[in-house]
Amino acid sequence: MATKDENSTVVVRKEQEERLKPPPMYQVLLLNDDYTPMEFVVAIIQEYFNKDRETATQIMLKVHRDGRAMCGVYPKDIASTKVELVLAHARKAGHPLQCVMEEA
């Protein structure tokens, strides 16, 4: 078992690491479904993930083929906002498109 001194050292080291560590980043992914039109997904990727039409099309096709693909990597609050904006846009248009975030 660690002594009190060793425990204090462990706590201080962890606090220092947390202060120095860059914040965790989150990848935002789109998931495939059978109903959302391909063209709608391409437009979403262009609008919310700042991709050109060619790149957006490649990402959409990867989702269609593999079931999911990454659209970008962001700090937590930005990733979360993008997920909410994409879901709100898809629901308003009547599409079941799913968008999720995962720690990178």
Binding residues for ligand TYC, per CB under 6 A? 30-34, 36-38, 41, 60, 63-64, 97
Q: At its nearest, how many Å lie between ligand TYC and the CB of residue 99?
A: 8
Q: Which is nearer to ligand TYC, 38 or 104 (CB)?
A: 38
Written as one letter, the residue type at 29 is: L
Residue that has been written with the tokens 């906002």 in this structure: 81
- The C-alpha atoms of residue 26 and residue 88 are separated, in whole angstroms, by 20
- The C-alpha atoms of residue 96 and residue 37 are separated, in whole angstroms, by 10
Q: What is the DSSP letter of 96?
A: -
The CB-nearest residue to ligand TYC is 63
Q: At its nearest, how many Å lie between ligand TYC and the CB of residue 38?
A: 5
SS3 67: coil
SS3 19: helix
Q: Which is nearer to ligand TYC, 80 or 98 (CB)?
A: 98
Q: At its nearest, how many Å lie between ligand TYC and the CB of residue 95?
A: 8
Q: At its nearest, how many Å lie between ligand TYC and the CB of residue 76?
A: 22
